Amino acid sequence: MNLLGRIRSFGRLAFGAAALFLAGQITGAQAADLGGDCCADLEERVAELEATTVRKGNRKVTLTLSGQVNRALLFWDDGEESDVYSVDNSQTSLSQFRFEGDATINPRWSAGYLLEYDVSSADVSGVNQVQANGGQALAAVLSDASIWLAHENLGQLTWGFTANASDGVPEMDLSGTDIVAYSAVADLAGGFFVRQAGVPGNAGLLGVTIGNFMDNLGGDSFDILRYDSPDLAGFAIAASWGENDQWDVALTFEKALNSISVAAAIAYGEAQAETNFTVATRADDEVDQNTLSGSIALFHAPSGLNIAFAAGQRELDNRFRDNRGIVTTRADDQHYYYLKGGLRRRVNDLGETAFYGEYGHYNDFLSNDADADTVNALDLDAAAVCAAAGQGCLVSGSEASIWGFGVVQYIDAAAMQLYAGFRHHEMEADLVDVAGTAIPSAALDDFQTVLVGGRIEF
């Protein structure tokens, strides 16, 4: 090899050695950095994440955290006064969070749990003219605490504080608008006092509320034992028994029949519930209630047209003592119907838009009420006709109706819905004296609401 070749070979070796040296220096510097402040920062961030992460206590049972935030503005007008409140919308559900999970016992058996809390500072069903938050402090209230055991062929058994079989039966709805309007109309502004027509201020507010005039006779949550059957061609049976000697059974059907989706339910239940009457014949001051309720909803997918209908009747079986101390006949049956029609279409890129119109009629939810405060609130001449404290007077009947319309816009990318709805309320009551003669009742102002808000789910 000549001199020039040797110089070139030496140059290559020197360049390679320099490259290896530099690489080692860079790697060493990076390693030193990772072992210093960088690593400490990383460990600190990991610790922060671990402290804020939901963990479950074991690897056998899953844990899922979910919920929603549902807030709105309520504009109201009672005929003499009006205002705007910031509220929690309790239609479908308040703002809430839930913990739920399950575990596989074997290929056929499984078990699970649900722990759910409603969070509210001003429930729209409880606010009124006097209290913008309904007298409610910010709180998380338990709405479900239950355990279930299920078999794929035998069904599911649930026990704890949970919804009974009738819950949701009058609320079958495929309109996509039940977040702002559905058959339980008292869930929106039911806590507002009715107003004597033409009397402004607190003096015109009577001792009865909008919710006293209307109810959809649905179920509720109790400490119960509940059974749900497996689905069979769209049909399912549920039954529950428990708190306050109450039981009920429900049949539901949900299925798509070609282009039409159908959801229907019917329920019957019996219970001993707190009476509205001053003194009942039963020692525990309760009367038996027999309730029949149901609903059906249809949705035509190609057109987006939908309709929902709900109805129910409650029979109060026991004779009772009125405020004169006289045993009289049982209360009149309470009954109602509710109708909603709508249209669901995708008119923009955000998601589906749902429009609706509604009407409901409610009878005798105050009927045969002998409570002195209620009678006096509705009687314009209590001193002359009913003497003191409503003696000798009864509410012989009541009637209420609502109508309204609104829209819901779905925003699919954010699991969000924006909504706005208007509703008009009308109410009247009838009184009789000791001889059964009709007494003029206070004329009541109509009541209007506008609810505008949004819900986001997580």
Token pair listed for 68: 């929603």
Question: Region 62-70: what's the mean pLDDT?
Answer: 92
Q: Residue 434 has what pLDDT? A: 65
Interatomic CA distance for residues 449 and 458, integer angstroms: 29
CB within 8 Å of 303: residues ≥ 6 apart:
343
Q: Residue 139 has what pLDDT? A: 74
Interatomic CA distance for residues 158 and 152, integer angstroms: 14
Interatomic CA distance for residues 103 and 124, integer angstroms: 37
pLDDT in tens, 173-226: 999 999 999 999 999 999 999 998 888 888 888 878 999 899 999 888 999 999
Q: How far is CA 205 from CA 131, 333, 393, 428, in A?
A: 13, 27, 20, 14
Interatomic CA distance for residues 382 and 397, integer angstroms: 18
pLDDT bin (cut points 50, 70, 90) of residue 31 is very low
Entry pTM = 0.81
In 3-state terms, what secondary structure has residue 220?
coil
Q: How far is CA 108 from CA 62, 147, 155, 159, 428, in A?
A: 17, 17, 11, 20, 56
Q: Residue 333 has what pLDDT? A: 83
Please give the distance of CA 165 from its chain centroid, rounded to a whole number: 16
Q: What is the CATH number of domain 63-90+162-457?
A: 2.40.160.10
pLDDT in tens, 386-437: 554 445 567 778 899 999 999 999 999 999 999 999 999 999 988 777 667 7
Bigger pLDDT: 222 vs 59: 222
Bigger pLDDT: 387 vs 267: 267
pLDDT in tens, 322-339: 545 555 655 678 899 999
Cβ distance 277 to 287 under 8 Å? yes
pLDDT in tens, 140-162: 889 999 999 999 999 999 999 99
* β-strand partners of 447: 425
pLDDT in tens, 234-247: 999 999 999 767 89
Backbone phi and psi for residue 277, each to the nearest 5 degrees, phi listed first: -90, 155
Residue ranges per structural domain of the chain? 3-45, 63-90+162-457
Q: What is the DSSP string of 352-381?
A: -EEEEEEEEEEE-SSTTB--HHHHHHHBTT
- Find which of 8-12, 18-22, 351-355 is predicted with most confidence, using mean pLDDT: 351-355
The single residue listed with the structure tokens 């994440």 is 49
